[in-house]
Amino acid sequence: VIMLVRNPIAGVAIRRQLREEYLESTGDVTIIFCDLTNMASVSKAADLIMKTYTRIDGLVCNAGIGSRSKYEQTIDGFESIIQTNCLAHALLTTILSCGLQLTNGVVINVSSHVSHATAPFDYDNPFFSEDDYNGYEAYCRSKFMVNIFTMQAGKRITSGVRFLAIYP
Per DSSP bridges, beta strands 2-5 and 162-166 are unpaired
Q: pLDDT tens-digit profile of 28-50?
A: 789 999 999 999 999 999 999 99
Q: Which amino acid is at 86?
A: C
Per-residue pLDDT tens for 89-132? 999 999 999 899 889 999 999 988 887 776 677 788 888 888 88
pLDDT of residue 108: 94
**Tens of pLDDT, residues 124-148:** 888 888 888 888 889 988 999 999 9
Mean pLDDT over all residues of the chain? 89
14 residue type, one letter? I
Q: In degrees rounded to 5, what are phi and psi of residue 103?
A: -115, 5
**Residue 25: pLDDT over 60:** no
Are the beta carbons of 76 and 127 closer than 8 angstroms? Answer: no
Work out the number of other CB atoms within 10 angstroms of the CB of residue 29.
17
